[in-house]
Structures are given as structure tokens and as C-alpha cells.
Amino acid sequence: MDRRTTTGTMNDADLAQVLSQVRAGDSDAWGELYRQYAPAIFRFCRRLLPAREDAEDATTEIFMKVRQKLGTYDSSRPFTAWLYKVASNHCWDTLRRRRIRQDLETGDLDTLPLEHPDPSQLERLQAEHTSKEVRTGLARLPDRARMALVLRYYADMSYEEIADTLGVRRAFVGVLLLRARHQLRDALSESGGASALKASAGGTP
């Protein structure tokens, strides 16, 4: 399921017409566009930013940017992809400005050993935790890890788009995603009291 194609209920023709009216300065069309996409963008921000108020502010600010930048949007590309790009850039800028990220540096990540999980333990972890618990665990991750997971598995961004947003090499995105998955497994294991996911010695496929 591509989230970006399921955001909003307008079909392509309607969307094209609304965008054209917004460009012409039609306030009603702008209202329609906002109502269609603001809830999804709010949820997206909610998964990236620490507080509900931050997500509310960010949603408002993202749409202000969208209105300003609509002239730069290439209509041959999907609108939602462009919208999520604007939103992810804004959220990443917000997080970066706060300078309270706990990410490890790229070099450290490159050399981090990633032990293989035990498939059965992974399945148990998935069975034991609700969606809410997953999002709570996600909130405890370093900003970049959380960004990577949300951009990929919520906003369905490509590796190129993720690399562009986070300012990393494309080849590094896979490492970032795998590392983020490991961190999330660890966070959920710690909170849920589940047994360690790491395979015991020699237990790798």
C-alpha cells in the first residue's frame, strides 16, 4: 500500500484543477486542498516530532510553505510525494535546529555490527506489541533513526528521497533503516520485558 497515493480523496483530475485554482489565488480551493491533506500531514508530523503541539505548529507552517512554494511544484510528479518532501524537510529542519539529537555519527553506524535476529523472536515481538506501543518505542529512537523509519514505512519515500532529506549518501540509507529497525526492536524489548532479540552465539542463519 502506498500511503502517498491514499492520502486525501481527490482524484488526479480534481487535484489538478484545485492546484490550478490555488495558483490563481482562489482561497476556497486552498481551503479544499488543506482539508484534504492536513490530517495526513499532521499524523506524519506527529510521528516525527516529540509533542502534539509541535506537530500542530509544524502542520500549519508546512502548509504556509506549500502555499509559498506551489509555483515550484512539477505537476508531472505526484503531488503527495512533493508534499511529503516539503513536510519531511520541515520536520528534519525543526529537529536539527533543536540540536538534541542523539544519533550516532555516520562513521560509527557504518562499522556497527548488526547481529542477525532470531526469526521466531521477531515474530513474537510483533505479536506482543500494539501499534501504540510501536509508536511509543519509535519516539524513543534517535531523531534520524525515527525519521528514516517514518519516511520509508509511513510516507513510502524512495531511498533517494530519504537520502536527500536526511543529507546522507543513498547507499547509506539501507544501513540507516536496518540500524533503526534494530534500535526499535531493542526499545520494544526493553519496554516490554521481552527476551533479548539478539541471536545466541552461533544462532545466525
Partner 1 sequence: MNHSDGHFDEMTGLLYLEGQLDPGRASEVSAHLGSCVPCREIVHALETEGVWLREALAAEDESIPARVIAAPERGTAHWGWIAAFALGTGGAYTLWSSFVEPWLTQASQAGFTQGNLLTMLFFTGAFWKGWDAMRSLTEFMAVATLGTLVIWLLRKQWQRFTAIAFVMGALVGALALPQPVAAADVQHGNPGYTLPAGQEVKTDLIVAAERTRIDGDVDGDLIVFSDSLIVNGHVKGDILAFGAEVRVNGPVDGNVRVWCQSFALDSAVARNAMAWTGASDFNEKSRVGGTLTLFSGATELDGKIGGDLLAYAGDLSIGGSLGHDAAIRGGKLNVGPNAEIAGQTKYKGDHEPEVSPGAKLGSPIQFTLVKRGTDYTRGRYYWHQILYWGAGFLLGLVMLLVMPGFFFDVAQACKRVGPAVGFGALFLFATPIAAIIVCATIVGLSVGLPVLLFYGIAVYAAKIFVGAWLGEQLLGPGVGVGPALGRLALGLAILRGIRMLPYAGPLAGLIIAMWGFGALVLVLHRRISAPPAGGSLSAA
Options 134, 164, 194, 198; binder of partner 1; rule CB under 8 A: 134
- The grid cell for 182 is 534494530
Nearer to partner 1, 74 or 127 (CB): 127
Work out the number of other CB atoms within 10 angstroms of the CB of residue 75: 12
Measured CA to CA, the distance from residue 200 to residue 118 in angstroms comes to: 8
**Three cell numbers at 71?**
509555483
Q: Is 8 in the site for partner 1 (CB under 8 A)?
A: no
The one among 104, 139, 168, 194 contacting partner 1 by CB under 8 A: 139
Q: Is 51 in the site for partner 1 (CB under 8 A)?
A: yes
Alpha helices, H only, 70-115 = 79-98, 106-111
Residue from 4, 8, 15, 30 in contact with partner 1 (CB under 8 A)? 30
Residue (of 88, 76, 10) closest to 44 by Cα position: 88
- Smallest gap from Cβ 89 to partner 1, in A, equals 16
Q: Could you tell me the smallest distance in angstroms from the CB atom of residue 34 to partner 1?
A: 4
Applying CB under 8 A, does 100 fall inside the site for partner 1?
A: yes
Among 5, 35, 69, 77, binds partner 1 (CB under 8 A): 35
Each residue of 146-167: b (16+ CB within 10 Å) or e?
Answer: bbbbbbbebbbbebebbbbbbe
59: number of Cβ within 10 Å = 24
**167 touches partner 1 (CB under 8 A):** no
CA-based torsion, 94, 64, 47, 156: positive or negative: negative
Cell of 67: 502555499
**Any contact of residue 168 with partner 1 (CB under 8 A)?**
no
Residues lying near partner 1 in the complex (CB under 8 A): 1, 3, 27, 30-35, 38-39, 42-43, 46-47, 49-53, 56-57, 59-60, 63, 95, 97-98, 100-102, 114, 116-117, 119, 122-123, 126, 130-132, 134-136, 138-143, 149-150, 153-154, 159, 174-175, 177-178, 181, 184, 204-205
